[in-house]
Amino acid sequence: MGDKTQVLISILKQQPVVPVLVIQDVASAVPLARALVAGGLKAIEITLRTPAALEAIRAVANEVDGAIPGAGTILNARQYQEAVDAGSQFIVSPGTTIELLDVARKSPVPLLPGAATASEVMSLREEGYQVLKFFPAEQAGGAAYLKSLSSPLAGMQFCPTGGITPANARDYLSLPNVICVGGSWVAPAALVEAGDWDGITRLAAEACLLAG
The answer on pLDDT for 178 being more than 70 is yes
CA distances from 84 to 11, 18, 78, 135, 172 (A): 16, 18, 10, 22, 29
- Using 50, 70 and 90 to split pLDDT, how confident is the model at 101? very high
Catalytic residue among 4, 42, 45, 120: 45
What is 66-114 written as a DSSP string?
A: T-EEEEES--SHHHHHHHHHHT-SEEE-SS--HHHHHHHHH-SS-EE-E
Q: How far apart are CA 111 and CA 14, in angstroms?
A: 17
The verdict on pTM exceeding 0.95 is yes
Catalytic residue, from 4, 120, 133, 206: name it. Answer: 133
Does residue 212 carry a pLDDT above 80?
A: no
Distance between CA atoms of 90 and 83, rounded to whole angstroms? 9
Q: Indicate the pLDDT class of residue 2, thresholds 50, 70 and 90.
A: confident
* 56-70 residue pLDDT tens: 999 999 999 999 999
Q: What is the mean pLDDT of residues 112-134?
A: 98
Q: Please indicate whether residue 2 or residue 13 has the higher confidence score (pLDDT).
A: 13
DSSP alpha helix (H) spans, the chain: 2-12, 26-38, 53-63, 77-86, 98-106, 118-126, 142-149, 169-173, 189-194, 197-208
In angstroms, the CA 170 to CA 212 distance is 9
Residue 45 catalytic? Answer: yes
Quick check: 158 pLDDT over 70?
yes
Phi, psi of 160 (to 5 degrees): -65, 135
Domains along the sequence of the chain with CATH: 2-205 (3.20.20.70)
Question: What is the spatial distance between Cα 60 and Cα 46, in angstroms, rounded to a whole number?
Answer: 10
